[in-house]
Amino acid sequence: MSDEQDRPGVVVGPSSPEVVGSEFAEVAVSVDHEGNGPRLKLEDLRTGRVRYLDALELETVVWLPDGHLRQLLDPSAHRWREDK
Amino acid sequence: MDCVTATVPQAGTDRPDYSALIQPERVHGSLYTDPRIFAEELERIWYRTWVYVGHESEVPQPGDYVRKNIGPQDLVMTRDREGQVHLLVNRCAHRANLVCEDERGNSNSFRCPYHGWTFRNNGELLGYPYHQGYGGRGKLNLGMATVPRVESYRGFVFGSFAEDGPTLTEHLGAAAGEIDRLCRLSPEGEVELNAGWLKHRTRANWKLLAENETDGYHPQFVHGSIFSVTGSPIGALYSEKSTAVTRDLGNGHSENDLRPEFRRHGEPMRWFGTTPDRVPDYVAKMRQAYGDEAEQILVEGAPHVMIFPNLFIAEIQVFVIQPLSVDECVQHSTAVQLKGAPELNRRMISQSIGSVGPAGMLLADDTEMYERNQVGAEQLRPEWLEIRRGMHRERVDERGLRVGTATDETGMRGFWSHYKTLMEDDK
Ligand code: FES
Ligand SMILES: [Fe+2]
């Protein structure tokens, strides 16, 4: 918790998101504290879609082999498919 | 002889007769103005030989990329997860859209904005939307094209569109030693080109720039004002009394070797227009890194070398020439940064802003000459441009390289003899 929280008259909102962006995608990143424990909040700024990732899910992403990540980057792996 | 009209003579084929256009003492004006010759240069020089593209320090982290070029070709220089540097042609393998638009960024993969195909930063196709149109996933073997040969020398990355040919080491020849000389001015022996690039669009043929870079005859005239305003001792280096020399380094490369003048004075840091007490940290680090050799390095300073066809190292700056058409090019420039020398790096950036920045005095002077020169070369008579200055007093040095005095056109003659070889090559 930050020092400001304890100071009278200072209202602190949710941590302001940082944007991880490139010419290909823009995602707002922040740590969300609404639950009983912290989780990462990711917002795709081009569509508004949000995904939360808890600590265990994040650890899984860290350990994901490059090959799996590469497969997920195939647009028709999930998002752009005829059968959806 | 003077009334011979050599405007693209036909020698049984459609090709210009380069032997008639390029003579020992003069070159024909059409070499700077004829779009057919420019088209042949693209094919025989820019899309065949080694061309400087970028520096490894511009993509320090995995996933980093920068837009670069070889002439009019739009390239993306990338660094993959394993640390390897790639040169991709910036064109989608589907329907040829431009894949990267930003000048620089970090992304391990690229997504074409037109139909959403994705590529790894080594060019490999990752996938395409709605795969049934191609009979499933992973059915196409269509990646972004890569420049066939990529090699780097001390961080300087070169590309060649030819599958084979001389190696980069063969191409650089004696010029490699000049890159070494630049690197050893860093206490860590490494140069970085990460200060950002200025671009100046110039309405002139690229060869006027390449020839001018080691023309020691013009500084006293064209740059007289900057020398007098700044009290720079540079002007004297290019006087008729100077002991500096112009050297043909072979393969079209040339240099103004200013070391004889600096050795004569024997003052460390004179090459940078300063004294050791003004840059004490740098001098101390150099002495620590190089021991007894440091004194010589600090006296002799940085190279002034034109590496064929497009890389010009001008002591504290680097210029890259990008031709766009027969009468247009872009000059890219940046300040040299020496690893481990922050004290000098700050000064090199401010000096570069003073010489090549938007209100800089050096590049503006030269560019004015290039553009006037282009207009002049488009006039019909007397057809020829002279390159004979100092021919009678040329000598061959201990390395077998041709040397002229500080104001002689020895560098130009070396440029043209290599150019002629490439343009006449029948392979
Ligand atoms: S042109 Fe790039 S995806 Fe169609
Ligand atoms: Fe449309």
Beta partners for B328? B325
Nearest to B255 by CA among B327, B338, B196, B179: B179
Same domain, yes or no: B136 and B186: no
Report which secondary-structure segment, H or E, holds B325. strand B317-325
Neighbours of A44 (CB within 10 A): 13
- For residue B346, the SS3 value is helix
B28 in any annotated domain: no
Q: Which domain holds residue B392?
A: 176-424
B7 in any annotated domain: no
| CATH assignment of the domain containing B246 | 3.90.380.10
Same domain, yes or no: B183 and B331: yes
Query: How far apart are the C-alpha atoms of A39 and B14, rounded to whole Å?
Result: 70
Same domain, yes or no: B143 and B195: no
CA-closest residue to ligand 1 atom 1: B95
| A68: nearest CA partner in chain B | B126
| B111: nearest CA partner in chain A | A24
The total number of structural domains that make up chain B: 2
Please work out whether the CB of residue B111 comes within 6 Å of at least one atom of ligand 1: no
Query: How far apart are the C-alpha atoms of B93 and B117, rounded to whole Å?
Result: 9
Report the share of chain A in percent with pLDDT over 70.
81
B128 in any annotated domain: yes
Same domain, yes or no: B377 and B246: yes
- For residue B368, the SS3 value is helix
**pLDDT of residue A6 exceeding 70:** no
- CA distances B8 to A53, B12, B114, B372, Å, are 69, 12, 43, 23
Same domain, yes or no: B119 and B215: no
Give the nearest ligand 1 atom to B128 CA. Answer: 3
Q: Do B127 and A75 touch (CB under 8 A)?
A: yes
Same domain, yes or no: B321 and B200: yes
For B321, the token pair is 């020439």
| CATH assignment of the domain containing B93 | 2.102.10.10
**Backbone angle region of B301, left / alpha / beta, with phi > 0 → left and psi within -120 to 50 → alpha:** left
In this prediction, residue A82 has a pLDDT band, given cuts at 50, 70 and 90, of confident
Same domain, yes or no: B296 and B240: yes
Q: What is the pLDDT of residue A3?
A: 46
Q: Which of B100, B122, B153 is a domain's end point?
A: B153
Nearest to B48 by CA among B154, B174, B147: B147
Q: Are B271 and B265 in contact (CB under 8 A)?
A: no
Q: Do A73 and B127 touch (CB under 8 A)?
A: yes
CA-closest residue to ligand 1 atom 4: B115
Q: What is the pLDDT of residue B6?
A: 52
For B247, the token pair is 């050297």
Instruction: Cis check for the bond before B309: say yes or no (omega within 30 of 0).
Output: yes
Report which secondary-structure segment, H or E, holds B350. helix B342-356
Q: Do B131 and A25 touch (CB under 8 A)?
A: no
Same domain, yes or no: B240 and B383: yes
Same domain, yes or no: B416 and B358: yes
* Alpha-carbon dihedral B53, B58, B63, B69, rounded to 10 degrees: -20
Please work out whether the CB of residue B118 comes within 6 Å of at least one atom of ligand 1: no
Same domain, yes or no: B65 and B209: no
Query: How far apart are the C-alpha atoms of B49 and B53, rounded to whole Å?
Result: 12
In this prediction, residue A44 has a pLDDT band, given cuts at 50, 70 and 90, of very high
Task: List the pLDDT tens digit at each of the 427 positions of chain B.
Answer: 344 455 555 555 689 999 999 999 999 999 999 999 999 999 999 999 999 999 999 999 999 999 999 999 999 999 999 999 999 999 999 999 999 999 999 999 999 999 999 999 999 999 999 999 999 999 999 999 999 999 999 999 999 999 999 999 999 999 999 999 999 999 999 999 999 999 999 999 999 999 999 999 999 899 888 888 877 778 888 888 899 999 999 999 999 999 999 999 999 999 999 999 999 999 999 999 999 999 999 999 999 999 999 999 999 999 999 999 999 999 999 999 999 999 999 999 999 998 888 888 889 999 999 999 999 999 999 999 999 999 999 999 999 999 999 999 999 999 999 999 999 987 6
Q: Quickly list DSSP for B171-209.
A: HHGGGHHHHHHHHTTSTTS-EE--S--EEEEESS-HHHH
Q: Contacts of residue A66 in chain B, CB cutoff 8 Å?
A: 81
* CA atoms within 13 A of residue A77's CA, in its CB half-sphere: 12
